[in-house]
Chain A
Amino acid sequence: MKQEAIRLENVTKSFDGIEDVLYSVSMTVEKNEFFTLLGPSGCGKTTILRIIGGFEKPTDGNVFFDGKKINDLPPNKRKLNTVFQRYALFPHMNVYENIAFGLRVQKTDDATIDARVTEMLELVELSGYEKRAVTSLSGGQQQRVAIARALAVKPEVLLLDEPLGALDLKMRKEMQIELKKIQRCLGITFIYVTHDQEEALTMSDKIVVLKNGVIQQMGTPIDIYNEPENAFVADFIGESNILSGTMVHDKLVNFMERDFVCVDSGFGENKPVEVVIRPEDIKIVPPDDGMLKGKVESITFKGVHYEMIIDAKGYKWMVHSTMHPLQGADAGMDILPDDIHIMEVQH
C-alpha cells in the first residue's frame, strides 16, 4: 500500500517578487521512494528541496508532510534532514561529534548516542574514524559523514542536494550504489537533487524533470527515457535526434520528405509535431535498403558502441551502433515504428 510522505500543492516561489523560480509545482513523494528532482542548473530543483527542508517559504501554495501542512514549520521542527551540497560539516568537531550533533541537541543520553554513532559509522563504512578531524577527510569520506550525521536522528525523509557533485567519476559511481543500498536498507524516503541524468536513471524510483521552475515530466526512469513527453525531456535524458515533422494522420508521420509508420495517435491531421529518435534506435543497413540514406561524416569509438554522425538531406543524425560503415561512405538507416516518438511542438 503506497502512502504519501511529502506533497507539494501548486507551490510557487519568487525571490523579491521579481521572477518566478518555481511556477505552480505539484508533486507527491511516496513513502520509501527514491525520488529524484532532475534538471539543468537554475531549473528550481534546489529551491524545491529548500522549501521541503524549511529553509525557504513558498510564495504561494502548500507543502504537506504526512498529510499535515508544514508551510510555517521551522527546519528544526521537521522530521526530515538534509545532506548539503558541500557537506556543511562542523569544522570544530570531530567525526563522532558531527554525527552526534542532532542527538545531543535532543538531549539523548550518552549510551544511546554512542550506540547510534557506532551504528551510523558502520552503515557508511567509516568505523574507526570517530576521533578524526573532519577537515582531514577526503571528499568522499566527508560525504559519508554528512550522510551519517543526517541519518543519525532517524529522519523519515532524507533530502540530498547534489551530494555527489564534488566527487570524481569513480567515487560517484560507488556512492550511487551505496546510497541506493542505504536507502533500501533503512527503508526511508530519499528526495535527491541532481543535474546528472545518468545518476537519476540509475538510482531513482521516480524522477521529476524540471525546466525553468516548471515540471516537464514525472515518472519512472523507464517511462521518462522511453516516453519523453517533450523534446526538452528527450534531449535532457540521453541524446536524441529531434526533427520537425508533420503528423499526416494517426500512426503516420512525415519527416525528411517521407512518411513513417509510428505508434502515436491523437495529434490531429496534418499538424506540425516534433519527432524524437534515440541514436541507439537507428539501424544501419546497406545504403539503398534503408528508409533514409546519408553520408557518414564522422565515427567515434565509444567503448560499447561507435558514435556516428550521418548527414541525410542536411540533417546530421547521431547514430549509435556496434558496427559501422567506412567514413565518407553512404549508409542506410532504418527506424522501427516503436522507436519514433512524437511530441507536440513547444512554444
Chain B
Amino acid sequence: MKKSMAAFHYIVWMVIFTVVPMLLILGYSLIEVTDNGVIHLTLDYIRKCFEPIYLQIIAFSFYTAILCTALCLVIGYPIAIILAGDSFKHKNTLIFLLLAPMWMNFLLRTYSWLTLLERNGLINRLLTLLGLPNHSILYTTGSVMLGMVYNFLPFMILPIYSVVSKIDSNLIEAANDLGASKWNIFRKITLPMSIQGVFSGIVMVFMPAVTTFVITRLLGGGQKEMIGNVIEQQFIVSGDWSFGSALSALLMVVILVCISFSNRKGTAEKGERGALI
C-alpha cells in the first residue's frame, strides 16, 4: 500500500511527460487538418510511411544502427572485460577517460570531430605535413559511423562492465579449481554471465543510433539521410506534423518490438543481474 503511494508521483510524472506525448504523436499521425481548419481522421499518413522511399530510409537507418551497435560491441566488450578484471591496475583512470567526454555537451563533442575531419582539419593538415595526399574524410558514411561509435560506445561498455564486475570471484576460482583454463573460464562462465549486460548495451546503443539526426547532419552533411533526419524535416522544415508523427509512431513500434524481443531473450537466459534495461 505504502509502496504504491510512493510510486504515485512517478506515475503522474510519467503520464504527463511520457504517455501523453506518445498518445499525442499517435493522435497526430491519424488526423489531418485541412486548410479551412477541419480535423478528420485518416490513415493516409500511416500509408505514406510505407512508400518505398521511406521504407528504404528506415531500412538504411536500421542497417547503420545495427552496424554501429555491432562495432560498439566488438570494441566495447573487450574493454568492459578488461575493466572488470582484478588484474587491471589503471581501472579508475580508464573509466574516467571513458566518462569524461560525457560531461561535455553531445553537440559540442560532435562538432569537435568536424574540426578534426574537415578538409583543412587537423588530420588532413597532419597528412600534408607528412607529405601524404589529403582525403575527404568528412561527409562520408565512414565519418557518420565514426561519430556514432564515438558517441555511443560508453553506453555499450558500462552495462557490460557493471554486469561482469558483479560476477562473484568465487565462481572464477571454482571454475579454475575444476580444471578450466583462462580461455575456458571466459567461454563457460564470463561470457554467458555477461549476456544480460550485452543485451542492455545493445538496446542502449541501438535506440539512440537508429533515431539520431544530429550526427548524420553534422558529420554526414546531409548526403545520406537517416529516418531521424526525415522526421526532423517534417516537423521543422515541411511543417507536416501528421506525417512526422506517423513516421515516429512507426519507428517506435519497430523499436518496441525489437526491445521486447531482446528483453525476453535476455531474461530467459538469466534473471535480473544488474542489467540496465
Interface digits, A289-332 against B, CB 8 Å rule (1 contact, 0 not)? 00000000000000000000000000000000000000000000
Whether the pair B269, A92 counts as a contact (CB closer than 8 A) is: yes
Among B28-36, B103-111, B181-189, the stretch that binds chain A is B181-189
Among the 9-residue stretches B77-85, B91-99, B154-162, B166-174, the one with 4 or more Cβ atoms under 8 Å from chain A is B166-174
Bound-state CA distance A84–B176 (Å) is: 12
Q: Are A76 and B180 in contact (CB under 8 A)?
A: yes
Are A92 and B192 touching (Cβ within 8 A)? yes
Chain A hits for B184, CB < 8 A: 105
Q: B173 and A74: CB pair below 8 A?
A: no
A82–B179 contact, CB under 8 A? Answer: no
What mask results when residues 36 to 77 of chain A are scored 1 for a CB within 8 Å of chain B, else 0?
000000000000000001110000000000000000001110
Residue from B171, B179, B193, B269 within 8 A of A105 (CB atoms): B179
B187, closest chain A residue (CB): A105
**In the complex the two chains form, is B270's CB within 8 Å of A75's CB?**
no
Contact between B192 and A88 (Cβ–Cβ < 8 Å)?
no
- Please tell me if the beta carbons of B178 and A150 are within 8 angstroms of each other in the complex: yes
B218 interface residue per 8 A CB criterion: no
Q: For window 87-116 of chain A, which residues contact chain B by CB distance below 8 Å?
A: 88-92, 101-102, 104-106
The yes or no answer to A86 lying at the interface (CB within 8 A) is yes
Instruction: Report the minimum CB–CB distance from B265 to chain A (whole Å).
Output: 14
**B270:A92 contact, CB within 8 angstroms:** yes
Once the chains bind, are B170 and A76 in contact (CB under 8 Å)? Answer: no
**What CA separation (Å) do A331 and B160 show in the bound complex?**
71
- Which residues of B sit under 8 angstroms from A74, Cβ to Cβ? 176
A121 on interface, CB distance cutoff 8 Å: no
Name B271's closest neighbour in chain A (CB-CB): A135
**A88 & B168 in contact (Cβ 8 Å cutoff):** yes
Q: Is B177 an interface residue (CB 8 A)?
A: yes
- How far is B178's CA from A90's CA once the two chains are assembled, in angstroms? 12
A88 touches B174 (CB 8 A): yes
Report Cα–Cα, A76/B189, bound state, in Å.
15
Asked if A88 and B188 make an inter-chain contact with CB atoms under 8 angstroms apart, the answer reads: no
Cβ-defined contact, A102 with B178, below 8 A: yes
Does A81 reach chain B (CB closer than 8 Å)?
yes
- Candidate in B176, B181, B192 with the most chain A CB atoms within 10 angstroms: B176
Is A153 an interface residue, CB under 8 A from the partner? Answer: yes
**What residue in chain B is nearest A101 (Cβ atoms)?**
B178
Taking CB atoms, residues of chain A closer than 8 Å to B255 are none
The one of A88, A105, A106 in contact with B170, judged by C-beta atoms closer than 8 angstroms, is A88
A106 surroundings in chain B (CB, below 8 A):
179
Q: How far is the CB of A82 from chain B (nearest CB, A)?
A: 5
- Contacting pair B179 A153 (CB below 8 A): yes
B168: chain A residues within 8 A (beta carbon): 86, 88
Contact check, B178 vs A105: say whether CB atoms are below 8 A apart: yes
Give complex CA distance A150, B173 in Å.
Answer: 12
Q: Which residues of B contact A82 (CB under 8 A)?
A: 173-174, 177
A55 to B170, CA, bound (A): 11
Instruction: Determine whether A206 belongs to the interface, using a CB cutoff of 8 Å to chain B.
Output: no
B175 at the interface (CB under 8 A from A): yes
Contacts of A135 in B (CB 8 A): 271
Asked if A195 lies at the interface with its beta carbon under 8 angstroms from chain B, I say no
A149 interface residue, CB < 8 Å from B?
yes
Q: Is the CB of A88 within 8 A of B179?
A: no
Q: Say whether, besides A92-B192, A92-B193, A101 and B177 are in contact (CB < 8 Å).
A: no
Q: Is the CB of B170 within 8 A of A149?
A: no
Given A90-B189, A91-B193, A92-B193, also A76-B171 (CB < 8 A): no
8 Å CB contact of A81 from B171, B178, B181: B178
Verify B176–A75 contact, CB threshold 8 A.
yes
The 10 closest A-B pairs by CB, nearest first: A102-B178, A88-B170, A88-B174, A75-B176, A105-B179, A105-B180, A76-B179, A75-B177, A82-B177, A92-B192
Give the interface of B toward A (CB within 8 A): 168, 170-171, 173-181, 184, 188-189, 192-193, 269-271
Residues of chain A touching chain B, judged by Cβ–Cβ distance below 8 Å, are: 53-55, 74-76, 81-82, 84-86, 88-92, 101-102, 104-106, 135, 149-150, 153
Give 4 new A-B contacts, CB below 8 A, not counting A76-B181, A82-B177, A105-B181: A88-B170, A90-B189, A105-B178, A150-B177
